[in-house]
Amino acid sequence: MLSDDTVKVEKIETGWLFDGPSDETALIFYPGAKVDEKAYSPMLRKIAEDMDVYLVKMPLHLAFFGINKAGEIIDNSAYEQYYMAGHSLGGAMAADYAAEHESHFDGIILFGAYPTKETNLDTLLIYGSEDGVLNRKRVENASSLVSGKLRELVIDGGNHAQFGNYGEQRGDGKAGITGQDQQSQAVEAVREFLNII
């Protein structure tokens, strides 16, 4: 995770900060279960070209042991806008935290995940057509939980694991596109979502 002229990567107490050109907006990202958080650095580094990104290092690599980490980040920063995000179990925990602390956030962005609690926050769901891990019925139920704007992107040929660079995942479908392509489409969807809300 190397810095360049656009994004400075810094190790911090809660994990990693991808410090991009924006001083106004931050995205806080919770990684999937048992996944080394650094596996998400390629996708998050691209997102950081538009906003600062906090990649959280979870105790035992399980987000439910560190669900309140976002609060630590918010208490120690001063952005005008915060977005809560995550992948898989990390996405579910991110959505739960945001739903319980709505006044702190401007939206929720979930990769291969779905909300489990009612929320008034605008929400973006991104998942692959070949995702063999995601519970589709729970995704369909999201519209009944989200009172804000709900946007959904299904990446054709994408699967569950390719939002991170950690290899194949048990039970997942076979991807029909590269991980780089899947992540690029996800990043573009995030950019479009932020322009819409």
Looking up residue 187, the CATH number of its domain turns out to be: 3.40.50.1820
User: What pTM was estimated for this model as a whole?
Assistant: 0.97
Query: What is residue 5's predicted lDDT score, i.e. its pLDDT?
Result: 86
- pLDDT of 129 higher than 60: yes
Any domain includes 152: yes
pLDDT band at 197 (very low <50, low <70, confident <90, very high): low
CA angle 78, 50, 41 (to 5 degrees): 95
Strand, coil or helix: 56: strand
Q: What is the dihedral of CA 99, 101, 102, 108, to 10 degrees?
A: -60
CB under 8 Å to 165, separation ≥6 — which residues?
Answer: 39, 40, 41, 42, 179
Any domain includes 1: no
Strand, coil or helix: 59: helix
> What secondary structure letter does DSSP report for 81?
E
CB 117 within 8 A of CB 90: no
Any domain includes 176: yes
Query: What is residue 193's predicted lDDT score, i.e. its pLDDT?
Result: 96
pLDDT, tens digit, 9 for 90 and up, residues 160-174: 999 999 999 999 999
Any domain includes 183: yes
CB 30 within 8 A of CB 90: yes
- pLDDT of 16 higher than 80: yes
Query: What is residue 196's predicted lDDT score, i.e. its pLDDT?
Result: 60
Any domain includes 148: yes
Look up the domain containing 175 and give its range: 8-196
Query: What is residue 110's predicted lDDT score, i.e. its pLDDT?
Result: 99
Compute the distance between CA of residue 134 and CA of residue 172 in angstroms, rounded to an integer. Answer: 9
CA angle 95, 67, 141 (to 5 degrees): 25
Query: What is residue 13's predicted lDDT score, i.e. its pLDDT?
Result: 97
Burial of residue 68 (CB within 10 Å: 0-12, 13-18, 19+) is exposed
What is Dmax (Cα atoms) for the chain? 43
Query: What is residue 3's predicted lDDT score, i.e. its pLDDT?
Result: 87
Any domain includes 3: no
pLDDT, tens digit, 9 for 90 and up, residues 131-169: 999 999 999 999 899 999 999 999 999 999 999 999 999
Any domain includes 60: yes
Output Rg (C-alpha) for the chain, integer angstroms.
15
pLDDT, tens digit, 9 for 90 and up, residues 31-75: 999 999 999 999 999 999 999 999 999 999 999 899 999 999 999
Number of domains observed in the structure of the chain: 1
Any domain includes 2: no
- Mean pLDDT, rounded, for 22-34: 97
- The closest of 125, 93, 79, 94 to 28, measured between CA atoms, is 94
- Mean pLDDT, rounded, for 14-32: 97
Query: What is residue 195's predicted lDDT score, i.e. its pLDDT?
Result: 85
- pLDDT of 122 higher than 60: yes
Query: What is residue 4's predicted lDDT score, i.e. its pLDDT?
Result: 85
